[in-house]
Amino acid sequence: MGGNAFGSVLSPTSFPRLPTAVYNMLKARLLPVLEELYVHVGVPSEAPEKENYGDLDIVVCLPRQQATPAQNPSNSLETREDEDIPAVNVPHELVISRLRAQYSNPMDGNRTSNFAIAIPSGEWAQCGPLEGEEETRAREEAGSSGIFYQVDVNVCASKDEWERTIFFNSFGDLGMIIGLLVNNAGLHFSNKGLKYPDNPNPPIVLSESFEEIFYFFGWSMEEWKQGFDTQLACYEWAIKNKFFDSSHFRPGAKKRKPGRTMYFGFIEWAGNLSQSPNNTRAAGAIPDAKEASLDFFNKRAVYEERREEQRHREFLKNVFSGHRVRDWAGLGNNWFGVKKIMDAVRERFGGEHNVRKFAVEEGEESLRKVVLEVQAELGIESPSESIKIGEDEGNIIV
């Protein structure tokens, strides 16, 4: 049920589930309205076999008039002339007026705003007598607060993001199911594309093209574009990829989350599928998706460069550590002196990276000599050097 965004002003009963005919009527009426405000307007393909809807999600991009600048910290509705920031969303007041929304949760930039639109009395009856009866029951349940449509407008910063957002959210939870299967293969998939996890480093971006990603996994883009009549058809399409491994699922999975019945239905279905001998592959028969992705998306050089950088960091950590410099300089517990020497060495080479490069190319002994040279230049003496025996009186001078 919609209305979660307006819990502080309206009860959940004010947002009844929308019969399919009513949902389609609302969509047909509001898309042209938003097309007057944005160049790109669309709705993700609905989940197959869905009988009713909690809200209407519309994805938009590229305002047709002056709009709120991206990442503008203020709530100003005008773009400053001295700011070279592309416009993202049209003024909220204009959207509220055009949609005839009574309540709203406006969000600037490329985020989602929520709008509550009062349902005119008798509107559902235009779709048929059954829908008219459902409206009557909904009004009785809501009482004096009335009933509303919840419309969520997701503003995207670019056409590419708009296309990816619609794509990822089409056919209900199919995008989440794809994400699960990709995760099982060791990669990460979202509406931003495909990434190679590389902790503790940032992930490697493999591709933002869904067509390219589908081709890599072996999913049919043509079948996806034709759509799916049933949830089972979605499930069967999703497992037709060369990296699918049924052993990631176990039979009897019954976990459920409100609003995600299709996603958890797939987990249960795949768990039962894993028990069928016709749907299992021998160990080693499933390709390594992570390895294959580096070559397919031409990211092998990036990966190897990171590994080399990591080896160099570990090498430097061993040869240019505080304890190592302390021992070379004979500074005992003078950690302040150790820090001064290490900072000066970094400054001499122009940063940690160049220290690492020197240590790798010239060796540990050469780096030790540089440390001692810097120590002498800074005048930092070791405790043994600072203790002198007076020649005449034999006193120890510290």
**Per-residue pLDDT reduced to its tens digit, 255-264:** 566 668 899 9
The CATH number covering residue 131 comes to 3.30.460
pLDDT above 80 (res 357): yes
DSSP code per residue over 140-191: HHHGGG--EEEEEEEEESSHHHHHHHHHHTSSTTHHHHHHHHHHHTT-EEET
Into how many domains does the chain fold? Answer: 3
pLDDT digits (tens, 9 = 90+) for 197-231: 999 889 999 999 999 999 999 999 999 999 999 99
| 318 vs 334 pLDDT, higher one | 334
- Indicate if 270 and 143 belong to the same structural domain: no
Cis peptide before 91 (omega within 30 of 0): no
Q: Give, in degrees to the nearest 5, the angle at Cα 115 between 118 and 48.
A: 90
Q: Is residue 74 part of a domain?
A: no
In whole angstroms, what is the distance from residue 354 CA to residue 391 CA?
46
Q: Is residue 301 part of a domain?
A: no
Which residue range forms the structural domain that includes residue 134?
Answer: 18-66+87-163
In whole angstroms, what is the distance from residue 135 CA to residue 125 CA?
8
- Indicate if 213 and 241 belong to the same structural domain: yes
Domain boundary (163, 196, 220) is at 163
- Indicate if 48 and 123 belong to the same structural domain: yes
- Indicate if 126 and 156 belong to the same structural domain: yes
Q: Is residue 269 part of a domain?
A: yes
Q: At what angle do helices 289-296 and 210-217 cross, to 10 degrees?
A: 130
Classify residue 22 as left (phi > 0), alpha (psi -120 to 50) or beta: alpha
First to last CA, the chain: 80
pLDDT above 90 (res 296): yes
Write down the H helix ranges in the chain: 20-35, 92-99, 129-142, 159-168, 174-184, 210-217, 221-226, 231-238, 261-273, 289-296, 300-319, 322-329, 335-349, 352-362, 364-378, 383-386
pLDDT digits (tens, 9 = 90+) for 158-211: 999 999 999 999 999 999 999 999 999 999 999 999 999 999 889 999 999 999
- Indicate if 211 and 261 belong to the same structural domain: yes
Q: 371 is written with which tokens?
A: 């440390």
- Indicate if 181 and 234 belong to the same structural domain: yes
- Indicate if 29 and 149 belong to the same structural domain: yes
- Indicate if 221 and 348 belong to the same structural domain: no
In whole angstroms, what is the distance from residue 27 CA to residue 9 CA?
25
pLDDT above 60 (res 393): no
In whole angstroms, what is the distance from residue 282 CA to residue 180 CA?
21
- Indicate if 102 and 208 belong to the same structural domain: no
In whole angstroms, what is the distance from residue 339 CA to residue 211 CA?
52
Q: Is residue 395 part of a domain?
A: no
